Amino acid sequence: MLSDFTLKPEIILYVLDLTGTFVFAISGMITAAQKKFDLFGATVIAFVTAIGGGTLRDVLIGSQPVGWMNDLTYIYLIISAVAITLLFKSYIMRLRKTLFLFDTIGIAVFTILGLQKTLGYGLSPVIALLMGTISAVFGGVIRDTLTNEIPLIFREEIYATACLFGGLMYLMSQMLIPSGPLSILIAVLSIIGVRIAAVKFHWSLPKIQ
Amino acid sequence: MLSDFTLKPEIILYVLDLTGTFVFAISGMITAAQKKFDLFGATVIAFVTAIGGGTLRDVLIGSQPVGWMNDLTYIYLIISAVAITLLFKSYIMRLRKTLFLFDTIGIAVFTILGLQKTLGYGLSPVIALLMGTISAVFGGVIRDTLTNEIPLIFREEIYATACLFGGLMYLMSQMLIPSGPLSILIAVLSIIGVRIAAVKFHWSLPKIQ
Amino acid sequence: MLSDFTLKPEIILYVLDLTGTFVFAISGMITAAQKKFDLFGATVIAFVTAIGGGTLRDVLIGSQPVGWMNDLTYIYLIISAVAITLLFKSYIMRLRKTLFLFDTIGIAVFTILGLQKTLGYGLSPVIALLMGTISAVFGGVIRDTLTNEIPLIFREEIYATACLFGGLMYLMSQMLIPSGPLSILIAVLSIIGVRIAAVKFHWSLPKIQ
């Protein structure tokens, strides 16, 4: 019974992680379509967008072979996302609002999982905060670099800031009440809240000039 | 006598691996010349083109220090390729057809060696297939990214697909007849065959739009 | 007394390493300002410029978690550099000559520390020479790639060549007189000398065409 309860958040996080991966892969496909890539190029961009951030984190902290190599679910899921985008492209384009929601859930979950994994390697909370954010946003950075664009989040974005804020909320709530599930909930809701508010109220960071 | 025979394919693969490295370095030099790089920039591009794919594979599977650090032959070979390209540039430009053949042998050998190394790390055949292909094609992707171009193989290429197909042939023939040399031969010939046919008959993957 | 003396060069190198990191972060901020990045983008570029080269070296030789994860001084220093650049921008722009000097000290120290670390991993002096140079110059290469520019040092630069030369001087002086501090001094002065002479006398490497 107890084990059932303690296992639950892990399963929820795993499912949300897969959801985020799937949605990130679709967003990669949409970028590739705008660049008129062929099927191979588009699939590479789908992969890079979906697992690039976590891969960079794993390489930096020394968790190798990198995470997705030990669970083929991620690879099959990305290939499914590629196929589904090709088959139902016009339908998926109309789902942009839903995709935005899942994308936001995705970065929230990627942040928390990246942060937890880094802490699990005995690294400092400051490093964990950075690695959580890198897990969430560097897939997009690598995608933009490979498609010869300046990464979008370097110019107008509260995206990464939401991850940093949510990660900080996780660490702080962990210090106050040492309950895994509650901290995760607070962090995920913080990230989703900041992200949605940022889009709704056109929040942006000051430009450097 | 027996050990002589079993050693042979390894030596052939090693020589072909060196050949591929050499030809990839020359192709890097040609790209650098088009971009009017200086000697240092050109040498970096030669290195990246020749060993970038294998380096990325090694970092992802956790084989560090990366492969070429343990065998200086690769470094001396790339430096030789840089020098030879500089000395005999006009002659090398006329060799394009021969270079294409060696380049194709190169990607074939890089694919098989990358695949075998990944399997040797206890990773799944699916991952090995991806890592074999990455070994063969990501040197070119990093070269294109550093020279501020959209990677060529994302747009019009049967290049990577040939590697995936050849890698698959290797895995399948390994299951049917567990003979290393024969599987390697089948895989290398598959990759070379698909690549040459793709160029001859203008095969290409569908564009994503 | 003796331990005092043997410790000294390490402390000097550490302080110079921090100085280089700080100046590299400022140079990243200046690039980000030219690209009109926001605060997050600018901070990423500051980080990448300051610690990108050492991070790549650590990943290639397999020193993970990468160096700066074990000493938060680097992170706080880069964040300070970001803040100071924002607060005193016009003043810092007038310091360009001083910055050039510290930048040159920075690449010298990064080269020697990268070289020493690589030797400490039991790798060959040739690899150590390459890794020292990568430590010094690849932060700038990653910065330029992320900001969608062809890396400056690929086109007109005696920058990396100075590092290679200084690293070679270090290795050679180590063979002749096995005194750490003296070799370091010779190497650092070589790099600074070549770099300043290159700028003063407009030295450049031949272009490849």
ipTM, 2 decimals? Answer: 0.91
Contact (CB<8Å) C38/A204: yes
Contact (CB<8Å) C126/B75: yes
Average pLDDT over residues B89-94: 83
Domain that residue B56 falls in:
2-200
Question: Which candidate in A29, A30, A37, A145 is best for mutational testing of the B interface (most B CBs within 10 A)?
Answer: A37
The half-sphere exposure of A25 on its side-chain side, counting CA atoms within 13 A, is 23
Contact assessment for residue A134 and residue A53, using Cβ atoms and an 8 Å cutoff: yes
Instruction: Establish if C26 belongs to a structural domain.
Output: yes
With CA atoms as reference, the chain B residue closest to C162 would be: B40
**C50 interfacial to chain A (CB closer than 8 Å):** no
**B120 interfacial to chain A (CB closer than 8 Å):** no
Label residue A5 left, alpha or beta by phi (over 0 means left) and psi (-120 to 50 means alpha): alpha
User: What phi and psi values does residue A24 have, to the nearest 5 degrees?
Assistant: -60, -40
Question: Looking at the whole model, is its pTM more than 0.90?
Answer: yes
C-alpha of C130 from chain center: 13
With CA atoms as reference, the chain C residue closest to A155 would be: C37
CA dist B174 and B194 (Å) reads 20
Instruction: Establish if B85 belongs to a structural domain.
Output: yes
Q: Which of A46-60, C50-64, C156-170 is the least confident region?
A: C156-170
**A147 interfacial to chain B (CB closer than 8 Å):** yes
Which 3 state secondary structure label does DSSP give B202? coil
Instruction: Report the pLDDT value the prediction gives residue B7, as an integer from 0 to 100.
Output: 56
Instruction: Report the pLDDT value the prediction gives residue C208, as an integer from 0 to 100.
Output: 82
Instruction: Establish if C66 belongs to a structural domain.
Output: yes
Instruction: Establish if C206 belongs to a structural domain.
Output: no
DSSP bridge pairs for A38: B207
DSSP bridge pairs for B125: none
Residue of A135, A130, A131 whose CA lies nearest to A109: A135
Contact (CB<8Å) B38/C156: yes
Average pLDDT over residues B75-86: 96
Q: What is the mean pLDDT of chain A?
A: 89
Contact assessment for residue A61 and residue A123, using Cβ atoms and an 8 Å cutoff: yes
- Give the residue with greater pLDDT, B96 vs A149: A149
Contact assessment for residue A19 and residue A74, using Cβ atoms and an 8 Å cutoff: no
Count chain A–chain B contacts defined by CB atoms under 8 A.
85
Q: Is the pLDDT of residue A36 over 70?
A: yes
Contact assessment for residue B105 and residue B13, using Cβ atoms and an 8 Å cutoff: no
Any chains having at least 3 CB pairs less than 8 A from chain B are A, C
Give B161's contacts in chain A (Cβ within 8 Å).
40
Instruction: Report the pLDDT value the prediction gives residue C29, as an integer from 0 to 100.
Output: 92
CA distances from B203 to A42, A45, B206 (A): 17, 21, 10
Any chains having at least 3 CB pairs less than 8 A from chain C are A, B
CA dist B99 and B26 (Å) reads 9
Band (B47; pLDDT cuts 50, 70, 90): very high
Per-residue pLDDT tens over the stretch A64-77: 999 999 999 999 99
Contact assessment for residue B107 and residue B195, using Cβ atoms and an 8 Å cutoff: yes
Instruction: Report the pLDDT value the prediction gives residue C85, as an integer from 0 to 100.
Output: 93
Instruction: Establish if C205 belongs to a structural domain.
Output: no
- Give the residue with greater pLDDT, C122 vs B34: C122
Contact assessment for residue C151 and residue B41, using Cβ atoms and an 8 Å cutoff: yes
Per-residue pLDDT tens over the stretch B18-38: 999 999 999 899 889 888 899
- Which of A41, A45, A64 faces B62 most closely, judged by CB atoms? A64
For chain B, what is the domain count?
1
With CA atoms as reference, the chain A residue closest to C47 would be: A130
Instruction: Establish if A5 belongs to a structural domain.
Output: no
**B90 interfacial to chain C (CB closer than 8 Å):** no
Instruction: Establish if C164 belongs to a structural domain.
Output: yes
Band (A169; pLDDT cuts 50, 70, 90): very high
Contact assessment for residue B69 and residue C127, using Cβ atoms and an 8 Å cutoff: yes
- Which of B39, B64, B75 faces C62 most closely, judged by CB atoms? B64
CA distances from A168 to A93, A125, B188 (A): 34, 9, 52
Instruction: Establish if B9 belongs to a structural domain.
Output: yes
Band (B90; pLDDT cuts 50, 70, 90): confident
Handedness of CA C190, C196, C201, C202 (dihedral sign): positive
Count chain B–chain C contacts defined by CB atoms under 8 A.
85
Percent of chain A scoring above 70 in pLDDT: 95
Contact (CB<8Å) C154/B33: no
- Give the residue with greater pLDDT, A43 vs A11: A43
DSSP bridge pairs for B38: C207
Contact assessment for residue C24 and residue C50, using Cβ atoms and an 8 Å cutoff: yes
Contact assessment for residue A60 and residue C55, using Cβ atoms and an 8 Å cutoff: yes
Q: Is the pLDDT of residue C170 over 50?
A: yes
CA dist A88 and A161 (Å) reads 33
CA dist C68 and C17 (Å) reads 12
C-alpha of B31 from chain center: 16
Contact (CB<8Å) B42/C145: no
Contact assessment for residue A25 and residue A47, using Cβ atoms and an 8 Å cutoff: yes
Contact (CB<8Å) B41/C154: yes
Percent of chain C scoring above 70 in pLDDT: 95
Give A42's contacts in chain B (Cβ within 8 Å).
154, 208
* Cβ contacts of C157 within 8 Å, gap of 6 or more: B38, B40, B41, C204, C205
Q: Is the pLDDT of residue C180 over 80?
A: no
Q: Is the pLDDT of residue C89 over 50?
A: yes
Reading the block at residue B82, the tokens are 């840089």
Q: Provide the shortest C-alpha distance from residue B189 to chain A (in Å).
A: 21
With CA atoms as reference, the chain A residue closest to C63 would be: A62
CA dist C162 and C192 (Å) reads 8
CA distances from A61 to A141, C68, C74 (A): 19, 11, 16
Instruction: Report the pLDDT value the prediction gives residue C36, as an integer from 0 to 100.
Output: 85
Give B39's contacts in chain C (Cβ within 8 Å).
205-208
Asked if the peptide bond before residue B65 counts as cis, ω within 30 degrees of 0, the response is yes
**B151 interfacial to chain C (CB closer than 8 Å):** no
Band (B120; pLDDT cuts 50, 70, 90): very high
Question: Which candidate in A57, A69, A88, A142 is best for mutational testing of the B interface (most B CBs within 10 A)?
Answer: A69
Band (A1; pLDDT cuts 50, 70, 90): very low
- Which of C151, C157, C208 faces B29 most closely, judged by CB atoms? C208
**Any idea what DSSP says for residue B38?**
B
